[in-house]
A and B are shown apart, each in its own frame.
Chain A
Amino acid sequence: MFKYFPHTKADVESMLKTLNISSIDELFKDVPESVIFNSDYDVPSYLSETELRNHFAELSKKNQELTLFSGLGIYDHYQPAVIDAITSRQEFMTSYTPYQPEISQGTLQYIFEYQSMIQTLTGLEVSNASMYDGATSAAEACFMACGVTRRNKMLISSTLNPNTINTIKTYLNFKGIEYDFINENQGEIDIEDLKQKLDKDIAGVIVQNPNFYGIIEDYSNFSELIKTNKSMFIISADISTLGVLKSPKEDGADIACGDCQSLGMPTAFGGPTLGYLATEKAYVRKMPGRICGYTHDLEGRRAFVLTLQAREQHIRRSKANSNICSNQSLMALYVTIYLSLMGRNGLKEVNNLSYQGAHYLYDQLIKTGKFSDPFNKPFLKEFTLLTNISKDTMQTALLENGIFGGVNLDIFGEKYEGLVNFSVTEKRTKNEIDNLVKVLEGLS
């Protein structure tokens, strides 16, 4: 017997008898003999729970938990204990997509609350129930822009995170959508280049805020240009910064997208996180993914249901705007709990603490004389500097002190040669920051 199979010998015999057969294998008579797999898989033998724990204890030793000064889309923010306590409830964790609203109000209600919070943070009218991650939500936003405008070319800002750019490129390449890049100038988009490239073929323009370098760009003048051209304006924004920074709506965006990892999720080696997507109601029928709406049951009680499903793959099949089905629902619960706990004041405080720590570190690093700022632009919790310290020397010295930071951007391409990224969240103490600076100032 095995703990996940409750079949006793007597159960199996009785069931076989009911079926008038003598072995389970007879049920597979439709399977051609030539494809029956008659041996054992070449995978290890089973482990008891204790052996499994020991195995993971060994694996854990091969990982190193570090003090993180790294960002670039995945941040080491504080996670309130309440989040794990609630998200681990089996009622949320083990249930399926809420297709039976009568017994899924828990899931549907938190999705509605999640949508409400994304709505207020972005300022746009409607959020869907979630996308996979920030990179794929940006790609789907581009599809949406093409769907709405019936045009077939995207303009992509060069200051987007390269992971986002690469994912968008893959999606657009395979779907057969053209794209071009808007040049950057001093770490920001060159608006003159945008003006030149905006023509009647352009379905949408996608930009990021804060951008890949951590710079908070001012997009005030973009929306009018883009709207005049009848294109869609897409802003990819780190959702947690929207507690203090201008919302995509205030910048005139038609679509907002990005990652929600910064709202209560662990770094988790990059996933799971959650991608958000929001737009105005005028475009909701071109929006991918599930959407939860408010309604009532037949006794007039408040109820929530999945709605406008005629957009989705299980109804529209080849005519759907997107193929997304499973999304990241449980991660939307992380976001909802986090924002419930933090409220607007907590969110502002998190941003301020991160801002303070990041600016303190920035000043200390500049003081060492080993780092310089190629941009001198406003930033929030992460920034990019130029350094002459060799990347191997820096990484080795930091690792010896249990620190990961000063991420070398040249792993993303030659244009980033010599640039390093530092990110500071509210979790980083003054001691940790001073220690980082101490290690770096001794290097050459």
Chain B
Amino acid sequence: MINYNKMIFELSNEGRVGYSLPRSSFNNYNIDDLNDNLKRKSELLLPEVSELDVLRHFTNISNKNFGVENGFYPLGSCTMKYNPKINEEMASNKAFRNLHPLQPISTVQGALEVYYNLQKYLSEISGLYEFSLNPFAGAHGELVGLMVIKAYHQDRGDFKRNKIIIPDSAHGTNPASTVVCGMEVIEIKSNDKGRVDLESLKAVLSDDIAGMMLTNPNTLGIFENDICEITKLVHDAGGLMYYDGANLNALLGKVRPGDMGFDVMHINLHKTFSTPHGGGGPGSGPVGVTEILSKYLPNPRVKKLDDYFYVENSGEALGQISAYFGNYLVALRAYTYIRTLGKENLKMVGRYATLNANYISKALKTAYDLPIPGYCMHEVVFNGLNNKDTDVKTLDIAKRLLDYGMHAPTIYFPLLFPQAIMIEPTETETKETIDEFINVMHKIAIEAKEHPEILKQAPTKTPIRRTDEVFAAKMMIFSYKDYLEYINNRG
């Protein structure tokens, strides 16, 4: 079935249906009565297929995907931990799933309780005062967090503060979010230990700094051990500290961002709190802030008075950043995860994740170039092979891993190392799985020396092999309509 090669449109046969709709009860009315100039005239290119056709089609294409339940998924910075089934069961509960967001608050008390308590738990876990669960994803959280920072300065009449300091190792979303928020980026170089260089930081601090964005552990998987000095320097200069929660998994149970001096942060619920990545979303990026910043959190907000939950739209808020409560059912999954672990198990997450990563780091550094020595946190970054006499590149190593039935690590990020391989094992993997991964990586290192052509050809056991990306960018075939035109022109 892995060779299945149809698009849904190619299964279409005129007259087939895949739906059943109620009989009409109101034959006095017909949509054709609408004035012609309001109606669609152009044809719709949609398939006509049976229900079983649809099931087979999507089941067959799903077999060309690799999920967390297929095998090891050491994708750095993405925290591909197990996505518990009980979360899904709770999210399919009709008493939540069938609620309309405008229903009277007396009829959605359970939904609001989940929202309110999740934001409380996240506040406790982060050492911050209050969270909004409305941001849809990590990058959306960054944008909203930066809006909070900007709103704070402007509220004090300090319009000069328009620059955000970002280390060169940061995720691309950090500078992009800054610009979307109407602020400027000041990039600072990392030092030779992969950390923020305090002298470079001091050199850019001035009265036009709005704040600094930092991931800790940073994207090299290393803890910024000068964190207390960094936050103090930025605060003394009048700036606020933003914590990019992409790597929060390392710290779960061990360190709270608020205690390190961060004022604003986002959490990727789809990383640290086990909600599924969904092939690229829906995620959820709650934003947390200190008490003085809490008035700026976006509308709508969920509040509690005695035992009653209610929705508030505040005039002091930075505004709305979503129509309603963000990806609510994603938040509900994260709530389920936190209740499943409880305080007893939450504190072990960062420890086990860090143990696994260090175990890999130690085992692989004999074959792979570990540019920053010492302990890592939840992920480890190598810079290609130790053996630099081969033309085998990181891309080839990643593709070869696919042949061994494992997902590739994140590659070519962070940008500091040209052959970066970023490995994040997470806490939900067994020692056996990790040992197997280590063995495979060593095998690949040997292959690189003895049979480099195998790596250059890899993968060969996957549903398809390497793709022609230049063709895709050049031809710009983005739809079935484009595809038909391309086929017709080709003759």
Contacts and interface: CB of A to CB of B under 8 A. Distances in A.
Interface stretch (A192-200, A222-230, A261-269, A366-374): A261-269
Contacts of B139: 313, 323-326
A314 B414 CA distance: 10
Contacts of B390: none
Contacts of B260: 35
Interface residues of A, number: 202
Contacts of A266: 97-98
Interface centre among A80, A109, A249 (most CB of B within 10 A): A109
A105 B64 contact: yes
Across the A-B interface, the 4 shortest Cβ-Cβ residue pairs:
A46-B342, A270-B324, A270-B101, A330-B278
Interface stretch (A124-132, A180-188, A382-390, A435-443): A124-132
A63 B95 CA distance: 6
Given A52-B86, A62-B109, A174 B147 contact: yes
Contacts of A164: 323
Contacts of B278: 92-95, 328-331
Contact of A136 (B82, B136, B274, B479): B136
Contacts of B24: 352-353, 356
Contacts of A80: 18-19, 51
Nearest to B147: A174
Contacts of A351: 31
A113 B9 contact: yes
13 contacts: A18-B362, A42-B343, A68-B98, A94-B83, A134-B323, A169-B319, A271-B328, A272-B136, A284-B476, A290-B280, A320-B176, A323-B179, A344-B44
Q: How large is the interface on B (under 10, 10 to 19, 20 to 34, 35 or more residues)?
A: 35 or more
B108 to A, nearest CB: 6
A322 to B, nearest CB: 7
Contacts of A417: none
A119 B465 contact: no
A148 interface: no
B398 interface: yes
Contact of A106 (B64, B374, B486): B64
Nearest to B342: A46
Interface string A38-50: 0011111111010
Given A31-B225, A318-B176, A216 B34 contact: yes
Nearest to A344: B44
A77 to B, nearest CB: 11
B481 A295 contact: no
Interface stretch (B199-207, B235-243, B350-358): B350-358
B291 to A, nearest CB: 17
Given A266-B97, A343-B47, A30 B223 contact: yes
A100 B398 contact: yes
Interface string B132-157: 00001111101100010010000000
B280 A46 contact: no
Given A296-B468, A346-B19, 10 more contacts: A4-B345, A6-B431, A41-B124, A52-B86, A95-B65, A170-B319, A295-B468, A323-B179, A343-B16, A347-B46
A117 interface: yes
B371 interface: no
A337 B54 contact: yes
Contacts of B277: 94-97, 326
A414 interface: no
B281 A343 contact: no
A422 interface: no
Contacts of B472: 293-295, 305, 307
Contacts of A429: 22, 25
A136 B140 CA distance: 10
B428 A4 contact: yes
Contact of A102 (B51, B113, B399): B399
Nearest to B338: A43
B434 to A, nearest CB: 9
A175 B177 CA distance: 10
B343 A102 contact: no
B358 A100 contact: no
Interface in B160-192: 171-173, 175-182, 185
A7 B103 CA distance: 45
Contacts of B57: 340
